[in-house]
């Protein structure tokens, strides 16, 4: 199993953090452009799902799957967006995304007064802890 890469977006569309572990195909554009594209797609999927859903869309968009990979999506009520690409055999990645949020983001960004919210995350501690968590997860 593999975890490919991770995007974290703030509620104001900024890319807070990008990490990559096993990515074979490069998109051929800058990270900023790619992030914009990604955010735009997520935004469209979200509004598409909310409009088209025949029932009350409670959690909204959770993941999509292609023949090669799965994109897992978690949005907190405060508008933070976590996007994790894994391979198709990884089940229930939501738990890992929740962990990323509550054990890594909250602990090492929110509780670090030197980390500005809505700006790309520079903290080394955050980077290391995140890497550690993902590498120790069963999906890696």
Partner 1 sequence: MSRTGARLDAKKVNSELFTLTYGALVTQLLKDYENVEDVNKQLERMGYNMGIRLIEDFLARTGSGRCYDFRDTAEKIQSGFKIFLGITPTITNWSPAGDAFSLCFETNPLTEFVELPDHCLNLKYCNILTGVLRGACEMVQMEVASWFLQDQLKNDSVTEIRVKFVKRLEDAIPAGED
Per CB under 8 A, contacts with partner 1 among 111-140 are 111, 117
Q: Pick from 2, 5, 76, 123: which binds partner 1 (CB under 8 A)? A: 76
Contact 41, 64 (CB under 8 A): no
Q: Pick from 1, 29, 110, 125: which binds partner 1 (CB under 8 A)? A: 110
Stretch that binds partner 1, among 62-70, 81-89, 96-104, 119-127 (CB under 8 A): 96-104
**Minimum CB distance to partner 1 smaller for 23 or for 125:** 125
Residue count, binding to partner 1 (CB under 8 A):
24
Assess 101 for contact with partner 1 (CB under 8 A). Answer: yes
Beta strands (DSSP E) in the chain are 3-9, 15-20, 63-65, 69-75, 81-87
3-9: strand order across its sheet: 15-20, 3-9, 81-87, 69-75, 63-65
Please report which helix (H) or strand (E) contains residue 45, including its range.
helix 31-52
Tell which residue, 62, 83, 78, has the closest CA to residue 110.
78
Interacting residues toward partner 1 by CB under 8 A:
11-13, 36, 39-40, 43, 58-59, 76-80, 98, 101-103, 105-107, 110-111, 117
């Amino acid at each position: 199993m593999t975890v490919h890469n991770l995007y974290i977006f703030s509620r104001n569309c900024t890319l807070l953090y990008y990490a990559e572990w096993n990515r074979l195909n490069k998109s051929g554009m800058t990270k900023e452009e790619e992030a914009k594209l990604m955010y735009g797609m997520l935004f469209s999927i979200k509004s598409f799902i909310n409009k088209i859903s025949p029932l009350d869309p409670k959690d909204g968009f959770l993941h999509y799957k292609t023949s090669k990979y799965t994109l897992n999506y978690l949005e907190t009520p405060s508008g933070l967006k976590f996007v994790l690409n894994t391979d198709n055999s990884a089940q229930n990645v939501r738990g890992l995304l929740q962990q990323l949020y509550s054990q890594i983001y909250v602990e090492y960004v929110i509780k670090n007064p030197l980390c500005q919210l809505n700006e790309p995350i520079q903290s080394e501690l955050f980077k290391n802890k995140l890497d550690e968590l993902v590498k120790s997860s069963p999906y890696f």
